[in-house]
């Protein structure tokens, strides 16, 4: 290998540019490289173990932190705005909405430029421009630079077989000149050729590489996320395989792909076209079946290939790779690189590890809860509300037993028809017969050994392992708890001698104990309607017996709560003291504060739409209420104004009438005086004025009235 490598200068290539750091593979490639020491893969990897934390690579002993790769890159402007308050810890600098001039300046500051076009075809033009622009600036490089293009094996999709007589003979990197692309990936192969071509001009200053990546998986999933999510949700009995499913899909764990890029940067190999795939030769059906078995119902069904176009989760760029059919081996990687493989044997062989990554990365961790308390304290109501809030499974003893018997009966009928192997049918028949016989002997009840077995199977079912559960009032005794949560034989591990062994996969994380006095509980039951109480365990006599049994059981030293205390899972006591809070709002507020945020996908699009419809309907209802209230207030104010106006008008009319009457009374003497003393003289004066026609009638009349004024007493 040494003869094929370029001699590295003393200065390691350290500053790395990555496009679209907010996309799946770019993000994890960047995160991986940020934990790698420049030049580390040149050393013997047997001396160091791969770090599993954060998907990073180990730092060789004796190296200092400052020698790790510095990661810079672009992000979508919208995504940067969303993530403004939580910048990626492994990124030194993030850029968005740069002009070509600004972007070129940033690229010139870097030692390694990685352009990933395997996820976003919109980046093809930018990648072509970037490699061309850098090539044009060769003479201005202060230090040598490397350009790595992460492409896809879809550029090989229509390649003719290596051996026409044996299609199982795999391709290798050396066959890259024979590759033929899928029709939708012709632009990808064009930029691949351009990158290889421009790297031949001055290899010492500007080296270029192409990595044709298999379908990437791991760290929360990308292309296969649809199948992981469907399996985790557990809403279907079979996971679909679109088409026959016998096509071979070349795959690679995203951290292994990052390891390939790390080795390219460090080794600068002579071969400039490499293939990034693991050793697996798994078919589409193999992969879906492995996911379903590890995370979901364990069964698959073949559906028409065309059904994938009806699935909202897939776009055309996702659909084409899923129907690729190609066998290819990364011979060069195995023979020349020091790779700390995360998943060398592929997705199917490492499915448990990949599922753990998926759960951890997406925060899909089960939430396991127990709710205890005396009868009528509201255990079932609280448990139901917790399940609704956190999307958990409500585990009630009676319902679980009924469900288990029903499933056994269905299994017997179904497998008897479908399966040629009678072993599972016989086992189900025997167990069902044993349960029914035991119930007949115990007046419809089951012995503890069968109850424990049924409940343990329920807690170990995939839905409970995926989302979690709320145990409603069970186990009831210390011994039942000890048997139910006992560790499996191959998992026995004592943390301390005083702590009993337990099954970590089903032990509750949170235990809530509802507490109330006998007087309060009795009063609550007595005030319930007869229609609610009749025929249930809340009837007076059964209730008092159950309450007395509960108190007797929980006065001993070895109680259920003591069991959890011994495991240092301390129960949270919650007082129930009021019947006013029938919705348990106060109780749920305390519980939600302790539990924290839900650990699931959150509402689906349909649930979001339904919630939005409910919120819109509620807003409309409140608007109608407010409008009706405003109309009512306006009507009341109008009526009040009308009443006040009527009263004011009536009072005004009365005042006017009184004024008129007063004026009338006061005007009578004046009128009498005028009629007796003034009007006769005035009349005579007017007659004289008309007869004599003086030049100034007014002055004449005034003089006349003055001279002939009547004498009054």
What is the per-residue pLDDT across 580-621, written as a single tens digit (0 to 9) for each? 777 888 999 999 999 999 988 877 667 777 878 888 888 888
pLDDT of residue 53: 44
* DSSP H or E run through 412: helix 397-418
The C-alpha atoms of residue 639 and residue 217 are separated, in whole angstroms, by 73
In DSSP terms, 470 is beta-bridged to 369, 394
* DSSP H or E run through 386: helix 379-390
Asked whether residue 150 falls in the same domain as residue 103, the answer is: yes
Q: What is the DSSP string of 16-63?
A: EEES-TTSHHHHHHHHHHHTSBTTGGGS-GGGS----GGG--PPPTT-
* Domain CATH code at residue 220: 3.40.50.720
- C-beta neighbour count of 323 within 10 angstroms: 17
Three-state DSSP class for 234? coil
pLDDT of residue 254: 97
Q: Out of 76-85, 285-294, 365-374, 447-456, pick the least confident.
A: 76-85
Q: To the nearest whole number, what is the mean pLDDT of the chain?
A: 87
Q: Which two tokens stand for residue 470?
A: 């709320």
Asked whether residue 332 falls in the same domain as residue 449, the answer is: no
pLDDT of residue 417: 54
pLDDT of residue 580: 77
Asked whether residue 127 falls in the same domain as residue 214, the answer is: yes
Closest C-alpha to 283, from 328, 323, 318: 323
Once rounded to an integer, what is the mean pLDDT over residues 648-673? Answer: 87
Instruction: Kindly indicate the confidence band of residue 710, based on its pLDDT and cuts at 50, 70 and 90.
Output: confident
Given a cut of 90, whether residue 475 has pLDDT beyond it is yes
Owner of token pair 């071969």: 271
CB 57 within 8 A of CB 221: no
In DSSP terms, 217 is beta-bridged to 253
Domain around 121: 2-362
Instruction: Kindly indicate the confidence band of residue 34, based on its pLDDT and cuts at 50, 70 and 90.
Output: very high
Which residues neighbour 555 within 8 Å (Cβ) at sequence distance 6 or greater?
Answer: none
Task: Kindly compute the dihedral angle of the four CA atoms of residues 420, 424, 430, 431, in this order, to the nearest 10 degrees.
Answer: -150
Q: Among 564, 595, 626, which residue terminates a domain? A: 595
Tell me 366's DSSP state: -
Once rounded to an integer, what is the mean pLDDT over residues 671-692? Answer: 85
Q: Does residue 684 belong to any structural domain of this protein?
A: yes
pLDDT of residue 364: 93
- What's the total number of domains in the chain? 3
Asked whether residue 576 falls in the same domain as residue 648, the answer is: no
Q: Does residue 695 belong to any structural domain of this protein?
A: yes
Given a cut of 60, whether residue 4 has pLDDT beyond it is no
Q: Among 558, 573, 595, which residue terminates a domain? A: 595
Of residues 557 and 34, the one with the higher pLDDT is 34
Asked whether residue 504 falls in the same domain as residue 622, the answer is: no
Once rounded to an integer, what is the mean pLDDT over residues 214-229? Answer: 94
Q: Does residue 320 belong to any structural domain of this protein?
A: yes
Once rounded to an integer, what is the mean pLDDT over residues 542-553? Answer: 86
% of the chain with per-residue pLDDT over 70: 89
Given a cut of 50, whether residue 52 has pLDDT beyond it is no
Instruction: Kindly indicate the confidence band of residue 209, based on its pLDDT and cuts at 50, 70 and 90.
Output: very high
Asked whether residue 409 falls in the same domain as residue 358, the answer is: no
Asked whether residue 442 falls in the same domain as residue 506, the answer is: yes
Q: Does residue 713 belong to any structural domain of this protein?
A: no
CB 509 within 8 A of CB 569: yes
The C-alpha atoms of residue 90 and residue 111 are separated, in whole angstroms, by 17
Closest C-alpha to 216, from 152, 266, 271: 152
pLDDT of residue 66: 52
CB 276 within 8 A of CB 214: yes
Asked whether residue 31 falls in the same domain as residue 109, the answer is: yes
Q: Which two tokens stand for residue 666?
A: 């006061």
Asked whether residue 655 falls in the same domain as residue 624, the answer is: yes
Owner of token pair 């990364």: 330
pLDDT of residue 88: 72
Asked whether residue 300 falls in the same domain as residue 444, the answer is: no
Omega into 147 within 30° of 0, i.e. cis?
Answer: no
CB 588 within 8 A of CB 389: yes
The C-alpha atoms of residue 493 and residue 487 are separated, in whole angstroms, by 8
Instruction: Kindly indicate the confidence band of residue 193, based on its pLDDT and cuts at 50, 70 and 90.
Output: very high
Asked whether residue 102 falls in the same domain as residue 80, the answer is: yes
Once rounded to an integer, what is the mean pLDDT over residues 200-210? Answer: 94
Q: Does residue 600 belong to any structural domain of this protein?
A: no
Given a cut of 70, whether residue 408 has pLDDT beyond it is yes
pTM score, whole prediction: 0.79
pLDDT tens, residue by residue, 131-170: 999 999 999 999 999 999 999 999 999 999 988 888 889 9
Asked whether residue 501 falls in the same domain as residue 358, the answer is: no
Most confident stretch, 42-56, 380-394, 654-668 = 380-394
pLDDT tens, residue by residue, 248-305: 999 999 999 999 999 999 999 999 999 999 999 999 999 999 999 999 999 999 999 9
Q: Out of 77-91, 554-568, 585-599, 655-669, pick the least confident.
A: 77-91
* DSSP H or E run through 216: strand 215-217
Given a cut of 70, whether residue 623 has pLDDT beyond it is yes
Handedness of CA 458, 461, 463, 464 (dihedral sign): positive
Q: Among 574, 595, 616, which residue terminates a domain? A: 595
């Amino acid at each position: 290998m040494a003869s094929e490598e370029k001699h590295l200068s003393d200065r390691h290539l350290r500053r790395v540019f990555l496009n679209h750091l907010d996309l799946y593979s770019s993000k994890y490639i960047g995160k991986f490289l940020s934990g790698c020491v420049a030049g580390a893969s040149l050393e013997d990897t047997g001396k160091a173990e791969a770090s599993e934390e954060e998907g990073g690579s180990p730092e060789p002993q004796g190296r200092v932190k400052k020698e790790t790769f510095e990661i810079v890159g672009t992000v979508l402007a919208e995504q940067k705005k969303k993530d403004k308050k939580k910048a990626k810890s492994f990124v030194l600098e993030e850029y968005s909405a740069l002009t070509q001039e600004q972007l070129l300046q940033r690229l010139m500051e870097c030692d390694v430029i990685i352009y990933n076009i395997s996820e976003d075809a919109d980046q093809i033009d930018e990648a072509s421009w970037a490699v061309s622009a850098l090539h044009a600036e060769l003479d201005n490089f202060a230090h040598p630079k490397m350009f790595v293009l992460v492409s896809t094996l879809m550029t090989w999709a229509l390649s003719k077989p290596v051996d026409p007589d044996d299609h199982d003979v795999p391709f290798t990197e050396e066959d890259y000149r024979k590759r033929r692309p899928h029709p939708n990936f012709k632009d990808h192969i064009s930029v691949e050729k351009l990158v290889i071509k421009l790297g031949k001009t001055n290899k010492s200053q500007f080296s270029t590489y192409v990595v044709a990546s298999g379908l990437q998986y791991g760290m929360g999933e990308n292309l296969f996320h649809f199948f992981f999510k469907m399996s985790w949700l557990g809403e279907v009995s079979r996971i679909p395989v679109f088409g026959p499913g016998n096509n071979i899909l070349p795959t690679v764990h995203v951290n292994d792909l990052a390891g390939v890029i790390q080795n390219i940067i460090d080794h600068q190999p002579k071969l400039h076209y490499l293939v990034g795939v693991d050793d697996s030769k798994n078919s589409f059906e193999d992969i879906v079946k492995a996911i379903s078995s590890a995370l979901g119902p364990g069964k698959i069904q073949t559906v028409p290939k065309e059904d994938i176009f009806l699935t909202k989760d897939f776009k055309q760029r996702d659909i084409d790779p899923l129907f690729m059919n190609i066998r290819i081996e990364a011979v060069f990687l195995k023979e020349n690189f020091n790779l700390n493989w995360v998943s060398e044997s592929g997705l199917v062989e490492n499915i448990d590890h990949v599922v753990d990554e998926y759960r951890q990365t997406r925060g899909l961790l089960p939430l396991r809860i127990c709710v205890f308390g005396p009868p009528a304290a509201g255990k079932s109501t609280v448990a139901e509300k917790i399940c609704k809030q956190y999307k958990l499974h409500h585990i009630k003893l009676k319902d679980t037993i009924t469900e288990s018997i029903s499933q056994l009966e269905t299994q017997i009928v179904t497998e008897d028809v479908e399966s040629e192997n009678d072993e599972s049918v016989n086992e189900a028949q025997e167990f069902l017969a044993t349960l029914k016989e035991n119930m007949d002997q115990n007046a419809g009840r089951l012995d503890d050994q069968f109850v424990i077995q049924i409940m343990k199977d329920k807690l170990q079912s995939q839905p409970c392992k995926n989302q979690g559960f709320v145990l409603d009032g069970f186990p009831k005794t210390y011994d039942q708890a000890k048997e139910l949560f006992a560790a499996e034989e191959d998992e026995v591990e004592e943390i301390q001698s005083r702590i009993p062994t337990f099954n970590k996969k089903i032990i509750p994380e949170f235990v809530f104990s509802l507490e109330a006095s006998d007087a309060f509980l009795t009063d609550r039951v007595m005030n319930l309607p007869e229609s609610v109480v009749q025929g249930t365990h809340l009837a007076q006599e059964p209730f008092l017996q159950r309450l007395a049994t509960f108190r007797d059981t929980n006065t001993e030293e070895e109680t259920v709560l003591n069991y959890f205390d011994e495991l240092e899972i301390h129960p949270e006591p919650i007082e129930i003291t009021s019947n006013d809070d029938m919705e348990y709002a106060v109780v749920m507020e305390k519980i939600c504060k302790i539990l924290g945020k839900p650990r699931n996908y959150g509402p689906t699009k349909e649930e979001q739409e339904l919630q939005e419809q409910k919120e819109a309907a509620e807003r409309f209802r409140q608007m109608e209420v407010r409008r009706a209230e405003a109309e009512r207030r306006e009507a009341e104010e109008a009526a009040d104004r009308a009443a006040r106006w009527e009263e004011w008008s009536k009072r005004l009319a009365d005042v006017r009438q009184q004024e008129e009457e007063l004026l009338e009374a006061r005007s009578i003497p004046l009128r009498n005086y005028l009629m007796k003393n003034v009007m006769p003289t005035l009349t005579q004066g007017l007659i004289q004025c008309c007869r004599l026609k003086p030049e100034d009638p007014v002055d004449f009349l005034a003089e006349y009235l003055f001279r002939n004024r009547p004498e009054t007493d």
